[in-house]
Structure 1
Amino acid sequence: MSTDQPQGEDPFRKPPPQGDLPPYHGPEGGGPYGAGPGGGPYGAGPGGGPYGAGPGGPYGAGGGEYGYGPPDPLAGMPPLGNRFKRLVARIIDGLIVSIPVSLVFSAFTWHHWNPETDQAKTTGLSILISVVYFVYEGLMLTARGQTVGKMAMNIRVAMLDNGAIPAGNPGWTRAAVYNLPQIVPCCGFVFWLVNVLWCTWDQPYHQCVHDKAAKTVVVSTR
């Protein structure tokens, strides 16, 4: 598995932060597309809110209620991905992987396998699904920052510092931390559960553990 960055220009990559500007800031402190000084997501107005109006809104560059204090960590970023959409995307991807893998596995083992009594083969199927999901997710994230489920739900995975596609190590790290612990008996499920629930209380980026490991964030594409 290559860790090299893609040769073509990443359409999602944002200019690197300058000075104390928060992630996703465009040139001259603008929004995610660099339009306007200190604006909102569309760069309109100095230190604006979602559309650049007023000081220091959810995507404006300003700090506290009156634009003072530390910069808003979400300034210039696209809206964070909705947690429900993230869950639905995982369900879609899980079905895409598990159904064909289960069918193929059953075709090769049907005359030997009773899922109610043969725990070893049931465990083998679970491990196989986790490994295939890991490869599927790693390839999709490093190629375009989205799996099929995320494309369907209009969300994507981006590098926290600049909004780029998580090509190379970050994409594979994210996929590994989500999928591979599940193959560890007993404690693997506990880690997976804590991992996926982490985004429900994490602030300000709503990251799961696999996001923190890869330094990524899930954002909306529209």
Structure 2
Amino acid sequence: MSDAVDQRFAPPQALVADVASEGMVLAGRGTRLLAAIVDALIAGGVAWAALKVPLLDSLAFNAGSPGLGSWRAGSTLLGLGVFLLVQGWPLLARGQTLGKMLLQIRIVRCDGSKPEAWRLLGLRYGIGIATNLNPVVAMVYGLIDSLLIFRESRQCLHDTIADTKVIKL
């Protein structure tokens, strides 16, 4: 009888196992870094070309030197526009930026499925872009984000937030 009483008040038992990601090989840290560098060079080239248009140049870079903690709306909006123009379609269609395509790696959910648009553009990239509202916050976020890739899971902070990982094709 005492066993029956103990069983009634025992906490529920459930087996929690990680979703198997068989057949998926994580992309290397160096490969991910190189893909990010390629993406930055592409975005920088497009932004440079856009700044040759006088109207965009005057919107992006206001006169004066406002200080470290200030935000320049024009340059942030230009950067967001360049990112969406260049990387938006490949990200949504294939889970890859142009740099990731070149290096044959892809963003997937932790269970191996294709990430949704809100997860990619909102959580994975949007939060990082939003930190640019304040350069000090952006520096702290960027440092933490970058250093977390050295975990065993090779997930940066933006991967953890969006429940994604980067795999080799």
RMSD: 2.9
Larger radius of gyration: 2
Structure showing greater relative contact order (alpha-carbon pairs closer than 8 Å, 6 or more residues apart): 2
- Equivalence map 1:29-178=2 (5 Å): 76-108=22-54, 118-119=64-65, 123=72, 126-132=75-81, 134-135=83-84, 136-161=86-111, 163-172=112-121, 173-178=123-128
How many positions carry a matched residue from both structures?
A: 146
Are 1:182 and 2:125 an aligned pair?
no
Unaligned runs of 5+ in 2: 1-15
Share of identical aligned residues, percent? Answer: 27
The structural deviation recorded for 1:119 is 3.5
Unaligned runs of 5+ in 1: 1-18, 25-75
Aligned counterparts of 1:100 and 1:144: Cα–Cα separation in 2:
21
TM-score by length of structure 2 reads 0.71
Are 1:194 and 2:144 an aligned pair?
yes
Note closer, same or farther for the CA distance 1:21–1:83 as it changes in structure 2 (3 Å cut).
Answer: closer
Match of 1:22 in 2: 19
Please tell me whether the aligned partners of residues 147 and 156 of structure 2 are also in contact (alpha carbons under 8 angstroms). yes
Match of 1:215 in 2: 163
AA partner of residue 104 (structure 1): A
Higher helix share: 2
Aligned with 2:33: secondary structure?
helix
- Equivalence map 1:2-17=2 (5 Å): none
TM-score by length of structure 1 reads 0.56
Note closer, same or farther for the CA distance 1:107–1:158 as it changes in structure 2 (3 Å cut).
Answer: same
